[in-house]
Structure 1
Amino acid sequence: MTDDTTKNGPDAAAADAQAQTKTEAPEATPAVEEPKAETPDPLAALQAENADLRDRFLRLAADMDNLRRRTDRDVKDAKSYAVTSFARDMLAVSDNLRRAIEAVPAEAREAAEAGLAALIEGVEMTERHMLSTLERHGVKKIEPEGQRFDPNFHQAMFEVPNPNVPNNTVVQVVQAGYTIGDRVLRPAMVGVAKGGPKADSAAAQEETSKAE
């Protein structure tokens, strides 16, 4: 007998081999499409750049405005306080002139001859002229007598027992004080009252008396 392979011949064997190859071959995996990269929006990019430039401009404008203000303040302070050291030195000269005037007793001044009287008057005029010149440059005299003691402008030298005025009231000026602009050039040396009512209580009593 002849087998099937022999009957069908070489063509049948080749067909069987091809069918077996198709059966064993793995199925092809479908290709996965990669997501396409999004194209940047030119309008959004332009808007973002514009916002960044605007923010930088506003910051620069604020910095320039602050610089201008600081410069104006520095120039103003330089004009107002440039003579501070010189004015302080001139106050010492003014103090000496005042001491010279006060060193002459009232009786001697009244009985002074023409030459001495003219000398005293010249010293007084020099003192007044010096103080007026300093005032033109922003130096002003502090008038503390009768005012409440203020450590920012006054320097307490001693206490004066006085129950008739509020406590810590300036009752005597030992040396005049001066300011230049908004600053203290030299504090006033003063004597303050002690033993009287507190300033707040005295003010309240005064308001009550006015109301009555």
Structure 2
Amino acid sequence: MTDEAKTNGPDASAAEKPETVAAETAPAEEANPLDLLKAENEDLRDKFLRLAAEMDNLRRRTEREVKDAKAYAASSFARDMLAVSDNLRRALEAVPAELKEAADAVVKSLLEGVEMTERSMLSTLERHGVKKIDAEGEKFDPNFHQAMYEVPNPNVPNNTVVQVVQAGYTIGDRVLRPAMVGVAKGGPKAAEAAPADTAGEAKGD
């Protein structure tokens, strides 16, 4: 076989095949560097906005925690002082009214001193955010009141606070101590609704 036949034979196409494959598998055109920079910039901007939002949330949370710490740091101390105030009130209520009237100047001065001490203590607590809960005559609210017993009383709406056993207090917007109360049971008399029913029947006739 001649050299020309060898060159034009089957082996010739086989020798050209790798070049064809290499041409077909050549990498696509590289991405535009400007597009890459824009994508990177958008990614960095998104990360920055997320970080800024997290920092803002952290700042607000820290401010709220500091505010709460200032407002409620004295809660335990204030609760203990209320116990002292309760004892002063019990001491004053233990003295009958007739004995107060008949007492000599020394005893009267002593009682007045106890009353002034109680008022001064409650006034000081109020300046620090501790306020008394006005419970009597209000509708029973389990968030502010603690029911101790029920009082049969058909003259007031059911679940109305009619007696306060121990005053309750709040500090800021939180309950420092719920008011211990007696709650009305029964509600308005049924007879009160009778005239309206009678009038309705008359109209129906």
Report the TM range for the smaller structure's normalisation.
0.7 to 0.9
Aligned to 2:91: 100
* Structure-2 change in CA distance of 1:107 and 1:39 (3 Å): same
Which of 46, 50, 56 aligns to 1:55? It is 46
Q: Which amino acid aligns with 2:156?
A: V
Normalised to the residue count of structure 2, the TM-score between the two structures is 0.83
Listed one character per residue, the Cα deviations across residues 2-39 of structure 1 (whole Å, up to 9, x for unaligned) are xxxxxxxxxxxxxxx64994698337325423334312
Task: Please report the RMSD computed on the Cα atoms of aligned residues, expressed in angstroms.
Answer: 2.3
% of aligned pairs identical? 76
Aligned to 2:10: 26
Aligned to 2:109: 118
Aligned to 2:170: 179
SS at match of 1:155: strand
* Structure-2 change in CA distance of 1:181 and 1:37 (3 Å): same
Aligned to 1:128: 119
User: Which of these two proteins has the greater Rg computed from alpha carbons?
Assistant: 1
> 2: distance between equivalents of 1:23 and 1:40?
42
Structure 1 stretch displaced more, 27-36 or 45-54: 27-36
> 1: distance between equivalents of 2:176 and 2:3?
116
> 1: distance between equivalents of 2:83 and 2:49?
52
Listed one character per residue, the Cα deviations across residues 155-177 of structure 1 (whole Å, up to 9, x for unaligned) are 10110001110000000000000
* Structure-2 change in CA distance of 1:51 and 1:95 (3 Å): same
* Structure-2 change in CA distance of 1:165 and 1:27 (3 Å): same
Equivalent pairs counted in the alignment come to 184
> 1: distance between equivalents of 2:7 and 2:163?
125
The structure 1 segments of at least 4 consecutive aligned residues displaced by more than 2 Å after TM superposition are 17-31, 33-37
Q: Which amino acid aligns with 1:178?
A: Y
Is 1:139 paired with 2:130? yes
* Structure-2 change in CA distance of 1:21 and 1:63 (3 Å): closer
> 2: distance between equivalents of 1:99 and 1:109?
15
> 2: distance between equivalents of 1:85 and 1:117?
33
* Structure-2 change in CA distance of 1:28 and 1:175 (3 Å): same
Normalised to the residue count of structure 1, the TM-score between the two structures is 0.81
| Gaps in structure 1 of 5+ consecutive residues | 1-16, 206-212
| Gaps in structure 2 of 5+ consecutive residues | 197-205
* Structure-2 change in CA distance of 1:19 and 1:158 (3 Å): closer
Aligned to 2:63: 72
> 2: distance between equivalents of 1:171 and 1:107?
26
Aligned to 1:41: 32
> 2: distance between equivalents of 1:45 and 1:39?
11
* Structure-2 change in CA distance of 1:173 and 1:27 (3 Å): same
Q: Which amino acid aligns with 2:122?
A: L
